[in-house]
Structure 1
C-alpha cells in the first residue's frame, strides 16, 4: 500500500499535480480539492500521534548554505522603514484579543524571555526545502503571560507586509496585508517560537525582521514574517475572507501540517 504523505503531495513530480507556491497561487480546482481532502487527514493524524510530537531537529553540520528568502522580501511603509533603520528599538509586539492581560512587548523583552533554539527543515509548497537555525521565545510562554481566555480557539498573526496586488502574487484580487493563524494546539507546541534570530544572526529584513513565526510541523507559508501583532480569537470572522490566512483566503489549505 502506498502512503501519500503531505510532503509527497508538495513534490508530486512530472505528470502529477504541482501547487505553484507562495509567490504564484494555483487556482486549479482539482488541486484545491486534493489539498482540502489531505488537510483533514493530516490534521487528524497529527492529533492522533500527539500534540507534542516534535518535528525532526538537525545538527549545525546539516544547515543549508543558502536559505531562500521567499514571499515578501521587504516592507515599504514609513512606519516599518523607520523601525528598521533604528534596529527596531522602539518597535512593540502587541498581544490582545481573548486574553486577560493584553501585552505590548519590546524586542528587548522578547530576547530577555526564556529562549529556544532549534535547527529544523523549512518545506515550501514550491517544492524546495532548507535547514536553518532559529532562536526565540516559545509562543506558549508569551501566551501564558497574556492569560489566554477559555473561549480562545486561534492565534492570529498580523503582519506588516502588504502584497499590493502584484501579478506574481495573484493579481489585484490578492492585495492585502499578510496574516496567518494556528489553533491552540500548535500555539502551545514546544517548537512553535517567535524567532528574532536566524543562523546565529539577527533576523534580516528579507527573512521577516523583527519577528517571524516558526511553527515547525507546518509548511512554509504558515511561518508568517514581519509579525506585528498576535490576536487571540474564537473564529476567523472579520479577518480577510474568513479562511484564517492570506493564502487560505486564496485557495490554500488552512492546516498545512507535514
Structure 2
C-alpha cells in the first residue's frame, strides 16, 4: 500500500469517527429529535460500511506482546452484579454457571464453564479502548464465538447475536427520557460474530476472569469500543432483528443514544 493510499485510508476513517463521535457526545440531546436521530444512524451506517470497505473482513486488530500488557486492566461499568444468585455462583466458583445459545439456531446449547474450557481456545493480547478515553492492554483466552455458532447451526434469517448479561443498571434513561429495564445486553452482526478475534473469554492475563472484569464470561469483539465487550454473559440469542429486544436499538447504551456499531 502506498503512502498516499495510507493517508487517504486514515483520513476516511478519522472523518467517520469524528462525525460519529460528535453525535455520541451530544446523544442525550440529539436523539430526542427525530431528524437528528436519522442523521445519527446515517453516520453510524457510514462508519460501519466505510470501515468494512477499507478493512478486509477477517483482518485482525493489532496484537501486542506480553511485555505490553497493562499492569492493571481497569474494570468499568458494573464491578459486581450482586444478588443472591450471582453471589452463590461466586461461592461455587461458577461451576453451575451455564452459557445458553438459542433463538434462530437449529441446535440450542447450554454449556458449563468446564465444557467451554474443554473446547479449542484462542489467546490474544489486544488493546481495549473505552469511549471515555482510556485504554488498557490485556491477554484474553476463550472460545471463538464462530466455533460455538457453527456448532449451534444458524437457522434461516439469522442476522445478529444478542448477548444477555447478569448485571442490571436499572434507572438510566432510554431514548426519549423514559425509564426502561436495565438488564445489560449487547449485540453484533454475524460478520463480527465470525471474526477470528471475537471470543467468549474466560481468562484475563492467564487467570480466570475476576468479578470486576466480568466473571465468569465476557465478550471480546476487538475491533469495537469497550461498551460492546459485554460482561457476565448468561445467554446468546440469535435473531433477525432488535425490535423486540429491550429498547430496540441493539444494546443497553445504544437504547440510550450510543452508536450500535462502535468500530475502531
Q: Into which bin does the TM-score normalised by the smaller protein fall?
A: 0.7 to 0.9
Q: Is contact 1:64-1:130 (8 Å) kept?
A: yes
- Unpaired runs of 5+ residues, structure 2, are 1-7
Quote how far apart the aligned CAs of 1:63 are. 1.0
Q: Secondary structure at the match of 1:51?
A: coil
Q: 1:5 aligns to what?
A: 14
Distance 1:144 1:191 in 2: 15
Bigger fraction of residues in helix:
2
Task: Kindly tell me the number of residue pairs found equivalent between the two proteins.
Answer: 248
Cα-Cα RMSD: 2.6
User: 2:148 and 2:41 mapped to 1: Cα distance?
Assistant: 31
The match for 2:5 is none
1:238-253 superposed matches below 5 A? 238-253=244-259
Q: Which residue number corresponds to residue 27 of structure 1? A: 28
Output aligned runs, 1:99-248, within 5 Å: 99-165=105-171, 173=179, 175-248=181-254
Q: How far apart, in 2, do the equivalents of 1:61 and 1:34 lie?
A: 43
Structure 1 alignment gaps of length 5 or more: none
Structure 1 residue 81 displacement after superposition? 1.2
Change in Cα spacing, 1:182 to 1:247, as seen in structure 2 (3 Å) is: same
Please say if 1:47 is aligned against 2:46.
no
Asked whether the 8 Å contact 1:43–1:255 carries over to 2, the reply is yes
Shift, 1:149, TM fit: 1.1
In 2, distance between residues paired with 1:43 and 1:220? 16
Other-structure match for 1:56? 62
Q: 1:68 aligned to 2:78? A: no
Greater Cα shift, 111-120 or 70-79? 70-79
Instruction: Report the 3-state secondary structure (helix = DSSP H, G, I; strand = E; otherwise coil) of the residue aligned with 1:82.
Output: helix
Q: Which residue of 2 aligns with 1:83?
A: 89
Displacement after TM superposition at 1:151 (Å): 1.3
CA apart distance, 1:35: 5.6
- Measured after TM superposition, the shift of residue 119 of structure 1 is 0.4
Return the TM-score normalized by structure 1.
0.87
Cα distance change of structure 1 residues 10 and 87 upon mapping to structure 2, 3 Å threshold:
farther
Distance 2:73 2:224 in 1: 17
Q: Contact 1:163–1:177 (CA<8 Å) still a contact in 2? A: yes
The alpha-carbon distance between structure 1 residues 115 and 223, as it changes in their structure 2 partners (threshold 3 A), is: same
* SS of residue paired to 2:131: coil
* TM-score normalised by structure 2 residue count: 0.85
Shift of 1:172: 8.0
